[in-house]
Amino acid sequence: MTDYTSPLLARHGAVSATGPDAGIAWHYGDPVAEQRALARGGAVVDQSHLGVVRVAGPDRLGWLHSITSQDLADLRPHESTELLVLSPQGHVEHAAAVVDDGESTWLITEPSHAPDLATWLQRMKFMMRVEITDATADYAAIGEAVDAEGAEGEPVTWRDSWPRVTGGGTRYGPPEAEHPGMQRPWRLVLVPRDGLEAAVSEREAAGWRLAGTWASEALRVEAWRPRLARDVDHRSIPHELDWLRTAVHLHKGCYRGQETVARVHNLGRPPRRLVMLHLDGSGHLLPEPGAEVRLRAEGDDPASGKVVGTLTSMARHHELGPIGLAVVKRSVPDDAELLVVSDAGGLPLAVAAAQEVVVPGDGVSVDRPQQRGPVTPGLRGPGSLI
């Protein structure tokens, strides 16, 4: 859908979001209270701008299994997972939340990606018994801080398993018990688009609060949860974002981009790494996604340091203050002093930022096979692969 505007933007106090969340509310007048309500599991978030692709037909699961990063061959009804569509070089092109209702497989993705994902799936259809439909105009998503799958007779529901390492996956970052994402339950519920307001009102009648993306994005960033529309660019491979936890199965058959996934995991190191940034919030302005991340330089102009990455997500957390996600060069030391540098109304803006490691600088997953002898030339890192 183009130029979408949610009916919930008509609510008193609603302020529209921008960027990939345009068309839904950034907040409804009290973003701090909304975020606190969501953090304690008492809020619903309008996610009706998201794209929805429906895949039906008896061959759907085996077919999706063969062309994407995830093992879907034996996906059970109401079981949630996620998949990536990679380029031949292993770069992330599409990402989708996945759940099957026993008759159809539902893919929930970013607003601008649904048409392209549906078109790509149509091109890959060949003689398979599948039907692909862009169902965005018919179904809307709402977000809930609930850690539960949908049940029989309930609406189609996708439960986010992040940051649990799913079958066939691996991790670069900390174990689940130490990962901040374990404190963020999240699921998406699909409702008929003409029933969106009624579904939200039903939850409000139960005591929940309507919250905007200011709240949901702050909790996502705190959880180090990568997002296609924010943290992915044309060079991204899943290892850089610790996305092998939930979106990649390392032991399934061949699919497009699988060679890069395997080689970087087994022999190389991702060229970049995701970090969480704690930003200095003492100023009135904060940088926007896309701002440069620089090493802090010595001397009179600390912002003149070397560019080492990009700020990809930015949020104001009700407890942590300004936080963000950034993708930086793997060689950046974990303790390096950083600045986020951007242009604010024609004036240079440089904000100090402290790192919190998401993907370690050594670039080695916890289950990387032990190397036997010298690495073959050209395979010491992913530079020759991507």
- Whole-number Å distance between alpha carbons of 38 and 44: 7
Per-residue pLDDT band for 378 (boundaries 50, 70, 90) equals very low
Secondary structure letter of residue 265 according to DSSP = H
Instruction: Give 279-312 as a 3 state SS string.
Output: ECCCCCCCCCCCCEEEECCCCCCHHHCCEEEEEE
- Which of 195 and 303 is assigned the larger pLDDT? 195
Q: Of all residues in the chain, what percent carry a pLDDT higher than 90? A: 90
Q: Is the pLDDT of residue 383 over 50?
A: no
Report phi then psi at 289, rounded to 5.
Answer: -55, 140
pLDDT value of position 373 = 58
- Domain covering 272-357, topology: Elongation Factor Tu (Ef-tu); domain 3 (2.40.30)
**pTM exceeds cut of 0.75:** yes
Q: Is the pLDDT of residue 240 over 70?
A: yes
- Whole-number Å distance between alpha carbons of 220 and 223: 5
Q: How far is CA 372 from CA 35, 267, 331, 376, in A?
A: 50, 11, 24, 11
| pLDDT tens column, 91-107 | 999 999 999 999 999 99
Task: Calculate the CA dihedral of residues 281, 284, 285, 286 and round it to 10 degrees.
Answer: 20
Q: Where are the domains of the chain?
A: 46-245, 272-357
CATH architecture assignment, domain 46-245: 2-Layer Sandwich (3.30)
pLDDT value of position 372 = 64
> What average pLDDT does range 218-236 have in this prediction?
98
Q: Is the pLDDT of residue 211 over 70?
A: yes
pLDDT value of position 303 = 87
- Token pair for 156: 């189609």
pLDDT value of position 347 = 76
- Whole-number Å distance between alpha carbons of 77 and 60: 13
> What average pLDDT does range 244-255 have in this prediction?
95
